[in-house]
Amino acid sequence: MPVKTRAWDAAETLDTPERIARYLEAAFEDGDPALIAAAIGDAARAHGMSDLARETGLAREALYRALSETGNPEFATVLKVLGALGLKLAAVAETTR
């Protein structure tokens, strides 16, 4: 009997600001802008795009587009989305320098 599988969706596990923060930290550590935008998009989908659009004042379709792997969100959009998710962006000094 074949094993049934389904695609893993990160948004299904991002149910608290702490989990979202850890997920985004990993994306930021990787440093790939497309991965970071996609990770923020996963967090946004977990929160609910309609709610996020209302909270940020941005169109739902624009959020989907900006926060996709091929999107290139403006910095203001990133800050609005993170704020609506209960997060803030912070700079941390590298310890390897």
pLDDT in tens, 25-64: 999 999 888 888 889 999 999 999 999 999 999 999 999 8
Pair 55, 22: CB distance under 8 Å: no
pLDDT in tens, 59-76: 999 998 888 878 888 999
pLDDT value at position 6? 84
Phi, psi (degrees; rounded to nearest 5) at 4: -90, 130
Handedness of CA 10, 13, 48, 74 (dihedral sign): negative
For residue 36, CA distances in Å to 1, 19, 28, 64 come to: 39, 15, 6, 14
pLDDT value at position 1? 84
